[in-house]
Amino acid sequence: MDSRIMNVLADRVLELGPQPDASGTYRNFKLTRDADGIAWLLFDREGASANTLSADVIAELDAVLAALETQRPAGVVIRSAKTSGFIAGADVNEFRGATDPRLVETEIGRAHAVIDRLEALKIPTVAVIHGFCLGGGLEVALACQSRIAIEDARFGFPEVMLGLHPGLGGTARFTHLVNPMQAMTLMLTGKTIDARKAKSLGLVDAVTQERHVRNAVKDAVFGRLKRAKPGPLNAVLNFSPVRGILASRMVAEAAKSAPREHYPAPYALIALWEKHGGNRAAMLAAEKISFADLMVTPTAQNLIRVFFLREQMKKLAGHGNTIAHVHVIGAGAMGGDIAAWCANQGLRVTLADMKAEPIAGAIKRAADLFGKIIRKRTEQRDALDRLIPDMDGEGVRTADLIIEAVPEKLELKQKVYASLEPRMKQGAILATNTSSIPLEDLRTTLASPQRLLGLHFFNPVSRLQLVEVVSHDGVDPHLLTQALAFVGAIDRLPLPVKSSPGFLVNRALTPYMLEAMVMLDEKIDKTIIDAAAEQFGMPMGPIELADQVGLDICLAVGDMLRSKFGDLLPPTPAWLREKVARGELGRKTGKGFYVWKDGKADKTSGAVVTAQPTQEMIDRLMLPMSNVCVACLREGIVDHADVVDGAMIFGTGYAPFRGGPLNYARSRRAENIVATLRTLAVKFGDRFAPDAGWDDFK
């Protein structure tokens, strides 16, 4: 916890003369009373770094509230004793494996009763919020009469990311307190807002600094703090005919990014508000049923699984990052963006290239990125100051980590290594961002091959969380541990993989993209091919993705993998080479399969296509991914099936509601996948032959 908060809390306890209230001691809460008769309820969940709401915690809160009803202090202040923030939300562990919606409804009903009891207290209640206040934590705060935010507070309802909507009364309380359009937008997107924005919305009554908290609390308890109240517009927007119009617009907007059949939660939330938004009590009652019904859907259970996959992969990073200075060689799209991300995460970065123009372009892209993701201008400036152009490559001498991000050509990479290896300091790591070349090939000319490893980032670096950390049989284990810690330190998810052609992600993704090229050869329209993948749940189709990645890169990776795996991959059409030779590389040149305008593919031109994707098309695109993932498990490229699923979701955007390609295979049943692959192999060739790993797949 921030030392200022600790000092304030310590001073407060000393002032009390005191001891805990007569209600006794609690496992997760500490209840004290100050000289003004105000009860301070500190939430400090036992054995956890962050406060979350479990059934046990909710039950204990109920006991605390019962004691407060008896004691009748002048007021009650609820705040966190954790450094990380107020309350991170519900304990997601308790959501896993739910199958009976009525049991869920019963459990959520018990929690509702406790939050209602907090709201019904006949004494002033104040939530003092620092750090994060998310989901169920925000619902606790909403049940208090006043909310005081410390300047660093963040507020949000991320439940939609788990296939849910708020379930502890938040849907009703939030849409009645603040402008329902703004409230619904926050719940539908899962975005967070800072303290100042929360104040402007009327979500909090005051924003203050830690040293002024006690006075702000006294003002709130004794009626001197002006509380935010719903404006007249709220009543208009919550009026039934208006809700109907606004709800239809919300549905149309949600459909652009979250199809109803894959992601039911946004539509359930909209329907809840549309039907009951004018009646707070009815909405509270209906919320429990809607939440429970969502909890048992495959989408929610798979998205909850994805939440834990992320936590599992975070742990792979370990602790103790020792990397302070990163030197990046190659200021192209990948190298420049890797450098920018590292600078954004507080590291000193030197960026080298053969020419000044790519470095200038990378600095401009970095400035644009920092403007979008960093709020304070001074912090944007500091991040840019950490990103240092280095035409002469002097950063090599002092860097703890060197990341090579030059084009995918073995000879070129080895030439770069020959020039920099003699200048590297002892103990420095040499990492390659290669997307497909085995490290066994790259290391052959190195004097110290043990310092070479792979750090394979994914495009766009600022959005895709995965980094493949590639090892070979001669790598220094200590450097590998350092590399994993570095990935965690820059807020990315590491995937330890053994060196092999394409590693995991590109090896699995390449047949998906090349099969799409074969379909084009069969005169299937590109929009139908993309629609097939999007119908499955992919964020974009393989044709658009190929344009996004760059057709030259797709061709190079495809050639590399075909040289290793031969007929296990679809053939590369000759016209694709011609397209690359003409410079039609996709987004980066403005034209590939699509014409690109302002960074987006133009799908409006061309003939109108009325045909629809078939299940066979979907299987041709998607099942080879699962097949390759099983092969990588069998070969020991990756150690665990769960991590494979996490990697494909966080590295490629594989439909999160499916839970990953192996989880999808599990839900569809392995025997069905194998039978379908065999049928496809008979019709289209041996590239669809089921891998031997299916025999042991569970």
Active site residues: 90, 136, 139, 159
Burial per residue of 223-258, b for 16 or more beta-carbon CB atoms within 10 angstroms, e otherwise: eebeebeeeeebeebbeeeebeebbeebeeebeeeb
Bridge partners, residue 349, by sequence? 326, 387
Bridge partners, residue 522, by sequence? none
Comparing CA positions, the residue from 305, 189, 267 lying closest to residue 657 is 305
Q: How far apart are CA 559 and CA 566, in angstroms?
A: 9
N- to C-terminal Cα distance for the chain?
44
Alpha-carbon dihedral angle through residues 601, 607, 611, 616, given to the nearest 10 degrees: -50
Task: Give alpha helix (H) positions in 522-614.
Answer: 526-536, 542-549, 551-565, 574-581
Comparing CA positions, the residue from 344, 266, 345, 331 lying closest to residue 299 is 266
In angstroms, how far apart are the furthest CA atoms of the chain? 84
- What DSSP letter does each residue of 487-538 carry, written as one string? HHHTT-EEEEEE--TTTTHHHHHHHHHHHHHHHHHTT--HHHHHHHHHHHT-
Give the gyration radius of the chain's Cα atoms: 28
Q: How far apart are CA 545 and CA 549, in angstroms?
A: 6
Comparing CA positions, the residue from 317, 643, 644, 326 lying closest to residue 481 is 317
Q: How far apart are CA 497 and CA 504, in angstroms?
A: 7
Q: How far apart are CA 92 and CA 135, in angstroms?
A: 11
**Which pair of structure tokens corresponds to residue 689?**
């032959």
- What DSSP letter does each residue of 105-133 carry, written as one string? HHHHHHHHHHHHHHHT-SS-EEEEE-BEE
Contact in structure between 79 and 86 (CB atoms under 8 Å): yes
Chain position carrying tokens 């050869």: 521
Chain position carrying tokens 């090939």: 441
Comparing CA positions, the residue from 634, 613, 618, 640 lying closest to residue 691 is 634
